[in-house]
């Protein structure tokens, strides 16, 4: 069986800004309300997740995630409105690309 995979990376001023893993991280933060919960859900280390958020926020004009320090559960994390919009936009691109790929795969014969 032939499958076509498409990994989409959004670059900003030449820097890696968003990719499937980062968008998934944003999505998991939205669902769990914390960075540690999101990291656990994705099976990645807290430090790795933290680094990704640092990278995203430092590349963005406005933060996509706000980390809240302290508290019983080690602080929460909130995806900003801009972050929510970017999740939506990225998924839109993914959907459109996958729709095209689905069309192409029925036309060609690998």
Binders in 67-86 for a copy of itself, by CB under 8 A: 86
Between 41 and 97, CB nearer to a copy of itself: 97
Q: Using CA atoms, how far apart are residues 105 and 86, in angstroms rounded to an integer?
A: 28
Please state, as a whole number, how many other Cβ atoms lie within 10 Å of the Cβ of residue 83: 24
97 binds a copy of itself (CB under 8 A): yes
State in angstroms the smallest separation of the CB of 78 from a copy of itself.
20
Distance of CA 42 to the CA centre of its chain: 11
104 binds a copy of itself (CB under 8 A): yes
Task: Please give the torsion angle defined by the CA atoms of residues 6, 9, 14 and 17, in that order, rounded to the nearest 10 degrees.
Answer: -170
8 binds a copy of itself (CB under 8 A): yes
Beta strands in 19-98 (DSSP E): 65-67, 77-79
Residues found near a copy of itself in the complex (CB under 8 A):
1-14, 17-18, 86, 89, 92-93, 96-97, 100-101, 104, 108, 110
């Amino acid at each position: 069986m032939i499958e076509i995979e498409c990994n989409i990376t959004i670059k900003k001023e030449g820097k890696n800004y968003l990719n499937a893993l980062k968008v998934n991280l944003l999505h998991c933060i939205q669902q769990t309300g914390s960075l540690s919960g999101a990291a656990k859900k994705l099976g990645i280390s807290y430090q790795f997740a933290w680094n990704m958020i640092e990278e995203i926020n430092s590349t963005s004009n406005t933060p996509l995630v706000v980390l809240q320090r302290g508290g019983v559960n080690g602080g929460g994390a909130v995806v900003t409105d801009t972050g929510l919009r970017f999740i939506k936009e990225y998924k839109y691109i993914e959907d459109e690309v996958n729709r095209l790929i689905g069309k192409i795969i029925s036309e060609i014969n690998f």
